[in-house]
Chain A
């Protein structure tokens, strides 16, 4: 009964547009003059023959596969370090690591773009230390541009995930660590055999959230590289935006693409739950 208002709101604000988007993904046409596509699933068929879409899927998964594991491991290690009761200035470290999350996506992307410009601070520093002779065109080459995007993502999101682990760690029973200590376990053994298994639900949660976030990546692709050079750093959501608002608007196809993203997120989350959740 008390859930009704909230449920209604979610229904109207969330699920109704989703149904509309699905109907839209079955239509095709110019501007507002949309008709049912023939065959109905032709927008979905189109996805498979779209080479640029293929490229953006590939880009997004490269970000996903490299960035998410590194980020989660680093976040977990940091959380463990910060959880040490003997650590001094705990609040300072915690704030410093979490602070990037308070920075707007666009503003940090712009700062990264300036830092990695041809005459930016990174090139200046590397040249000053004589690691390189001439400036590296960071954002102009596929490999380095992807590297900068991944670096940006790590900087922005590691602290965020760390906070989840910290919260989980504080709920763990200290006696388990003491027991491990008495049994003669080293720091790494304690971490691997005692801490990690107890953190499993939290690892699952952060993995699903990060996967979801990375697949819907937009700001970094848009602000850092504009998807270039020649589409090799463009994310799926960036391509979706380009199709709908920058090029000749093709909302039917755009809606189909958004459903493709939804399906990917759902499938990946399902796999992670199957692998990660051992409760049954």
Chain B
């Protein structure tokens, strides 16, 4: 009996001990600055936090292989950490002043970058001493991770927005992808109604209350929820009112169906319930899950807002950037990133076909791999197109309070859909954000 109890308590304690060990585990492997190896190569270990085994973890491991060719003594240790956990861990470490527990490099969502740099500058080290040429990245992308002119992040995956449509459904309605290229939102709605009438399929789907679609419309006109000084500009924002108008009309006419979760959203096009989607280019990974739809998809640029100054057919949603922690062997980490994600065509050519990770690094646009026609998209050279689009995405100001602004705006959109006057709802949203900033 006594033995049994001892055993039971041990089984309880053991996982706890492991959990504690795991907490302190990763980064304690010292990023030692060992003796330089033969051939002038560097040595040490880089610990990295990122989250997607099929995407950014894979890319990081490929980068490690490429870097190891010249620096065989550098090891990269990738710790799989979901984005929500990265954010929670960073906040907790900063708050408890335990920055020595940070990894050397971590990946951060572009939309969260400003917020984290402003709140916790002690989590980042800047790229000013690195060899990275930031002019080789689109300005709209580096803006996410730049604070007061200082670069804190190296852009990784491309968030350029695309309109992806089912060509077979369009054909049934007597249209082609060209009918949706370089158009305005009012054209889009008119054509969407035709498609719906003839094929019973809505063109788009979206997660209710996520606000992504409206944020993309805003950025396509270079507009934002904040002004340059960071003050909210939600109340009476003409571009925003216009975008909400478009969104409402799409929901009410049935061109866009609202769903309640991400799985439902992906399911809506994988199961052919809708004829297309508008999102960041990374959505291609989800599209290609439906292998039976190969050859039936095509991509084009976004519709543009009518009557809004500065409106374009280009926008972005999401994307992420690499950051170096102050705890790192900064020289090694910066050298590693500048020779891989900001300097290796080989890397991007390897990861593109297998994971669909489209580069932000502009020299890749001329790469022959990017120009290859993609069978899934009916032979379109989609990746080259995306890089062309990405050069034209207007810069927008995410601001420190991006998530507060976006959520308040989304809540307002839900209210407007239920009949509240748009101006009143936006005034309320403005007040909510101002309250959060107090």
Contact = CB atoms under 8 A, between A and B. Distances in A.
B88 interface: yes
B91 A249 contact: yes
Given A31-B94, A32-B120, 15 more contacts: A30-B119, A32-B95, A140-B260, A226-B209, A230-B410, A231-B411, A244-B91, A245-B87, A245-B88, A246-B87, A246-B403, A247-B401, A249-B95, A249-B119, A251-B95
B414 A117 contact: no
Interface of B: 87-88, 91, 94-95, 97, 115, 118-122, 208-209, 258-261, 263-264, 267, 273, 400-401, 403-404, 407, 410-412, 414-415, 432, 435-436, 438
Contacts of A244: 91
Contact of B120 (A31, A229, A231): A31
Contacts of B403: 246-248
A50 interface: yes
A139 B259 CA distance: 9
A248 B436 contact: yes
B110 to A, nearest CB: 16
Interface in A211-258: 225-226, 228-231, 244-249, 251
14 contacts: A30-B118, A31-B118, A32-B122, A46-B438, A49-B435, A119-B267, A140-B258, A225-B260, A226-B209, A230-B412, A230-B414, A245-B88, A249-B119, A251-B95
A32 B93 CA distance: 10
A151 to B, nearest CB: 16
B91 A248 contact: no
B411 A113 contact: no
Contacts of B415: 230
B87 A229 contact: no
B111 to A, nearest CB: 12
Contact of A247 (B88, B120, B414, B436): B436
Interface of A: 30-32, 46, 49-52, 113-114, 117-119, 137, 139-140, 225-226, 228-231, 244-249, 251
A16 B382 CA distance: 58
A70 B24 CA distance: 46
Nearest to A139: B260
Nearest to A116: B260
Contact of A229 (B121, B208, B261): B208
Given A31-B119, A51-B432, A245 B91 contact: yes
Contact of B261 (A50, A113, A249): A113
A104 B396 CA distance: 42
A119 B403 CA distance: 29
B259 A118 contact: yes
A50 B434 CA distance: 11
- Give me the 7 closest cross-chain CB pairs, A-B, nearest first: A230-B411, A31-B119, A228-B209, A230-B414, A139-B260, A229-B414, A31-B120
Residue of A51, A140, A245, A249 with highest tally of chain B CB at under 10 A: A249
Chain A CB within 10 Å, residue with most, of B87, B88, B263, B438 = B438
Nearest to B120: A31
A52 B209 contact: no
A194 B258 CA distance: 53
B258 A117 contact: no
Contacts of B95: 31-32, 249, 251
